[in-house]
Chain A
Amino acid sequence: MNVIFEWLSENWLAVAVPLAVFLATLIAVFWLRAYSFRVLNRWISQAAWPASKILVESTRVPSALWCLFISAGLAISVSKIPSGWKNPINNGMWTLLLISITLTLLNIIGNLITHFSPKLKIPDNLTIVIRNGSRVIILLIAILVLLGIWNVPTAPVLLLIAVIIVVGILALRDIFPNIIAGFQINAAGHIKKGDYVKLGTGEEGYIIEMNWRTTDIRTLEENTVILPNSHLVRSSIINYGHPLKQAQEPFRFYTRVHLTELTGMKARSLRELVDILRTSSDAIVYFHTHHFLEQHHFLTPEPSSDFALWVTEAMGDEALGERLASVDTFSFFDLKSLRDRLVGIIDESLARTTENREAMPGREFYFMKSVVMILPTPYVAHDLRGLAECLRQLSLGSIYFHIFESRLRLGKGLNDFTVWLRDNLGENELGEEISRLDPYTYTLEGLRSQLIQMIEKRIK
């Protein structure tokens, strides 16, 4: 103890001066800090810039440390500590100051990015990349400064950084355009997750994911198309808008193909025709009342059954042919009633005549039926938009199946679209409207257009 007091009494100036410098500097820098924060607080209360608070809050505690480090550094500078000790201590002090400033900057940058990313609509993944990139840059600068403080040569490090940057640019040269495009898309805000879009290059579907590099689209076939953002910004896009009400169960489209099965039965006269028809299966009745429509769906619609055509052309009975042709198939909900009606008309006609005319050889009526194979298609509709777009792209066989076959041959009494709209989307009005549509008065292409129009009118 005595040794210390002795040393102090002999060297009090060597202690007092640095101490005085330390205290004076400390007071000065704390005053400066307090003044700065007062000014900053005033600015925060006036400025509209929302990030100012982040700047102030992030520097409040570290700035106190900086005051201490600056004061200590100056005190050490003026002290009479041997230069062999003084420089490392001084460098150590600056190093602490640098670490503190670096940590503070990292904190500020992190908070600013977190704050501004949602406002700039930067995707989460891209936010992470920007944050990490900024951290790397700050750390690199800090390391370079640190090396400068300790007089370590920085040229090799700078060279290494340059090489890394060049390699990085080369490696990411295909990704950068997509990242930039991602910025553009997000900033413009023309499309967003859930929108139904159609690109000029042909892709279409619902946007299910937008990230910093790609945009994912779910097509009507339930496939996911991953589009690079740069492709998106180069293409023209029709945005059909926000997602519509989603169905409880999606509409899965089926299609049908058919093969004609021969029965070997034939009729030469009206009497034979009606006798066979009376006991025919539903499949035969369906075939001969829909076969013309199926085979000639491109024509201006003529609701002709094979019976009507045969009676007119082979039997030469135009009046009966007209009566059979004018049977409103749409008004029947099952094939038995339809058959009874056809049989009734022919019976009435036969009751009025005793003539039993026969068709010319080769012009007999051949009874047939169809074997129908029903196949799933990849098309699935989750809402009205999807339904309209699927209808636009589907084969006529699919539309035929859901409108004609399911209603009468499968005996549902209603077309599939009406049932789905009512049960899964609560679109009772639209469903009713479609159920009232007489499909027998349209060509299949005309029917497709009519259905799409009705759905699009409802969407609008």
Chain B
Amino acid sequence: MLGTKLSGKVIQNINSTFTGGGVAEILNRMIPLLQQLGVDARWSVIKGDDEFFSVTKKFHNALHGRAEEITERDYAIFQDTGKKNIAETEIYGDIIFVHDPQPIMLVNRKQEIGKKWIWRCHIDVSHANEAVWSFLEPYINKYDSAVFSSPSFSRVLPIRQFLVAPSIDPLSDKNKELPQAMIDSVMAKYGIPNDKPIITQVSRFDYLKDPVGVIEAFKIVKRNMDCCLVLAGGTATDDPEGEKVLAEVREKANNDPDIHILLLPPNSDIEINALQRASTIILQKSLREGFALTVSEALWKAKPVVASAVGGIPLQVKNKFTGLLSYGIEGTAFDLRQLLSNPEYAKWLGTNGREHVRYNFLITRHIKDYMLMFLAQEHSQEMVYL
């Protein structure tokens, strides 16, 4: 029904690439689904050379809160390419849905062509570099609306802001149901025993995911309970820090046979799915997070989750309802022991978690939110009879 309310409107998505990266992946899934619902969603990309994209990579990191040295020349490169794209990009939508900072300057055409303009921020800007944010803010303020993935990413802005949390696709390799034989074969492949409880954290080897803290919490738990730990993830090929973190993790594990460190290659979605399904508890002891969809992935598999209250995790884990939130190593260990000792409670949390994801973090909700947001562009009221 929402689709019919949007009929006749062209939704033009604009980002920087058709392939690679999270935004392209989301749009590749979203656009066909929106079209099937009768929404005329289309997709354009801007152009840019390597220099431009290296600047936008810096912007991206800076907005994530990482220390980046951004020079006046970087800003000039960004603006020059932005101006070229303003001149060259065909704007044909009734609603122009711009993703992330790379095409943000296109909004300068708003005065000329009108239409509704939305800026979708896929980045955790809760600790954004103020200089970069201040540079982007005048452009953001020209949009009709901005969209963020978590309340903590929002700021006081003169335009409307909407919350559209990311989502998981329950039919993707990472989340679909797997036959027990396949789960068993993955566990056998990595030599993980099935005769004791398994605690798993799936995340890349990065200090912000605190894999060393995970091992420390596990060692506290192991004093009283027989269980094993799986740390599964990859390292970014261009991230020298990843190798360092992995080395530290291995050192901390000290060849403990109950600690399984799995360096997974890209496209290991089925393996990750199997590991999550075979686990007794899923851990996400991050120090900083964007949204942390791995939590929704675990909850969708009805697994009890212990996670840090950072980034988008509190949206997914309501403490003591859909999982347990912890703040430190001891707290994490305490929560793990609670769940290992009380399987019924763990099961209840897992069941609640799955329902929570079913209603709030599946791709269907994501699409509904987008359609509502497109409709909201025509209605400024808080209650709208369609």
Contact = CB atoms under 8 A, between A and B. Distances in A.
A296 interface: yes
B151 interface: yes
A150 interface: no
Nearest to B146: A262
Contacts of B155: 264
B247 interface: no
Contact of B156 (A257, A264, A372): A264
Interface in A226-278: 257-266
Interface in B285-334: 309-311, 314, 318-319, 321-322, 325, 327
Contact of A298 (B151, B154, B311, B352): B352
Contacts of A409: 383
A20 B81 CA distance: 129
A283 B383 CA distance: 9
Q: Which of B1, B151, B355, B359 has the most CB of A within 10 A?
A: B151
Nearest to B354: A298
Interface in B5-62: none
Given A296-B356, A362-B126, A259 B373 contact: yes
B187 interface: no
A419 to B, nearest CB: 17
A364 interface: yes
Give the interface size class of chain B: 35 or more
B131 interface: no
Q: Which of A262, A265, A369 has the most CB of B within 10 A?
A: A262
B353 to A, nearest CB: 11
B161 A262 contact: yes
B356 A259 contact: no
B376 interface: yes
B382 A370 contact: yes
A299 interface: yes
A360 interface: yes
Contacts of B360: 295
B375 interface: yes
B162 A261 contact: yes
Q: Which of A263, A264, A297 has the most CB of B within 10 A?
A: A264
A260 B321 contact: no
Contacts of B164: 259
The 5 closest A-B pairs by CB, nearest first: A366-B151, A264-B156, A260-B163, A262-B154, A262-B161
5 contacts: A262-B162, A263-B156, A264-B161, A299-B321, A366-B152
Interface of B: 1-2, 126, 148, 151-152, 154-157, 160-164, 309-311, 314, 318-319, 321-322, 325, 327, 352, 355-356, 359-360, 368-369, 372-373, 375-376, 379, 381-386
